[in-house]
Amino acid sequence: SDGLLDLRPDMAVKDVLLPADVRRSATAQELVDNLTQGVRGHEMSDDVTVLALRRKWNPTA
């Protein structure tokens, strides 16, 4: 979570569901934007790295 938990301490528990605003993201980019909302223009004590992959659901797999 390179720095993400400093930005989003609400996610600092084991097996936490992503916040509702993040789960509703339509694209991987929107998910990253929602997770890092508020970081621009603020000085952080650590960098924040977020990588989002979206897997297409295949009911036959």
Structure confidence by residue, pLDDT tens digits, 1-45: 557 777 777 776 667 677 788 888 888 899 888 887 767 777 777
Residue 35 is assigned to a structural domain of this protein: yes
Q: CA 15 to CA 28: how far, in whole Å?
A: 20
How many structural domains comprise the chain?
1
Residue 60 counted as domain residue: no
23: containing domain: 1-55
- Give a yes or no: residue 61 inside a domain: no
- The Cβ of residue 4 has, within 10 Å, a number of other Cβ atoms equal to 17
Distance from C-alpha of 44 to C-alpha of 39, rounded to nearest angstrom: 8
Residues 6+ apart with CB under 8 A from 25: 31, 33, 34
Tell me if 11 is assigned to some domain. yes
pLDDT band at residue 61, thresholds of 50, 70 and 90? low
**Burial tier of 53 (Cβ tally within 10 Å: 0-12, 13-18, 19+):** exposed
Q: Is residue 16 part of a domain?
A: yes
| Residue 46 maps to a domain | yes
